[in-house]
Amino acid sequence: MTDPHETSAPLAYQSVGQTVAQFAEGSLRSLALLDVLLERIEAVDAPTSPTALNAVAAIDPRARAVAAERDEQRARGVVLGPLHGVPIVIKDNIEAIGLPGAAGSTALVGRPTRDAPLVERLRAAGAVIVASTNLSQWANIRSARSTSGWSATAGLVSNPWALDRSAGGSSSGSGAALAAGLAPLAVGTETDGSIVCPASVNGVVGLKPTVGVVPATYVVPISSSQDSPGPMGRNVADVARLYAALSATTPVEQPPARVVVAANWRTGDPATDAHFDDVVAALGASGVSVVLRDVPEPGPEQNDDELVVLLGELVDDLSAYLADRPGPGVHSLAEVIAYEDLHRGREQPYFGHDLFVQAIATGGRAGSAYANARTRNLAWARDVCLGPALLDAEVLLAPAYGPAWKSDLVVGGHPGPASVATTPPAIAGWPIASVPIGFVHGLPIGAALIGRPHAEWRILEVAARLEAQVALGFDRYRPSFPPPTRG
């Protein structure tokens, strides 16, 4: 299947830099671009369309009025910031006035929303918030049997590169929307892998910043020690522009970054790992300082400790968030469980909420297991794994995910080939990014880049070098929405 709305593709896929330049010279208006994207959403994403991506959860009814306002401001010589008039979509666990902020759950449908501080930053930079994006419900912390990209409010997100394959999770809709040309920029959130995974399998760029750099207030939480909203886009320069607005930071001139490759962090997919090795060799040949090093991998103890921490923080943090959110409805995790049991047919048609039940049983941060698990987990991630790995370098490089796996709502849709790259920085709260490095069997794969706290600009520097090295280009790097197949 070819792009069902090919006539809009050139404009829909151009870079943010090109769009901003066209705005400035007067050859493109924000409202005109927004109308192209809204028409494209209807053609590509809607349940009635041939492709039915389900990437978009809801459209902001004020988007066209805001775009027209941005055009009028520009005509008067007023430019609010680096995103003036640029359309953007945000994950549906982020509150914004005019959008549901439902985290994929019918339990939150109709609850009033506020502008999260990160949304205020986007509006101050001039962005036009177009829509919220579908996600793995409750950011994929509900069940060990969950299918990535499914929510009770908006169904299952499809991958534009192959409609029967997963768009990853939990920022599924953000990744798929970018790949499908529905918006030039998106905001996702990550606790462990939720930006990196959809970025990798949808062939886009994503950055999970250091925890705390982008405020998570009014974002439906899992874990205050690991949650981080972050920018997503189709190239590194676009993500850097969005990151600057979200973080209120700018790059500082520094010597070129030194790179360590985690030689033993493999996805287990031979073609992905071989391609990654070729890209690393080419990066080194281009003049980047690259050193190969074995880096400790998380084992059962580290994974078990992380789960104890996440569930312990979930019961406290989500309950506190729900109690604070305006309007009637669920006000604790226990009430969410009761609501989902009462509405089992809508909320639990394919899998349950076993992790929610386990979270209640932990007793939260005051429970007997939490403190020791967090201490062990953090010490391992910082002092055993990442600290020694980055002792003499700024960026740690590894394969991210292999090709997207097929979605399966019957038996659960768990990730296919993947390295362990997301887990150590998730535990430590350190930044990580994913950048596309090519294709395996026609499906995108990505590389993960990890840095010390607040090293986002160094990560983006190396990501840009990597992007230039693989030189995929926009003309070649567009999905064709192939229908489901065998195999």
Q: Which residues have C-beta within 8 Å of that of residue 159, sequence separation ≥ 6?
A: 165, 166, 167, 168, 176, 179, 201, 202, 404, 479
The residue type at 61: P
Q: Distances in Å between the alpha carbon of 286 and those of 169, 237, 281, 289, 330? A: 33, 20, 9, 9, 55
Rounded (10°) CA dihedral 417, 476, 9, 22:
110
Catalytic residue among 170, 174, 247, 407: 170
Catalytic residue among 30, 91, 143, 247: 91
Cis peptide before 332 (omega within 30 of 0): no
With b for 16 or more beta-carbon neighbours within 10 A and e for fewer, the 133-152 pattern comes to bbbbbbbbbbbeebbbbbbb
CA distance 334 to 464: 45
**CA–centroid distance for 177 within its chain:** 11
Catalytic residue among 166, 174, 194, 319: 194
Active site residue 170: yes
**CA–centroid distance for 315 within its chain:** 23
The residue type at 438: G
With b for 16 or more beta-carbon neighbours within 10 A and e for fewer, the 8-29 pattern comes to bbebbbbbbeebbebbeeeebb
Rounded to the nearest 10 degrees, the angle between the axes of helix 370-379 and helix 300-324 is 120
- Catalytic positions, please? 91, 170, 194
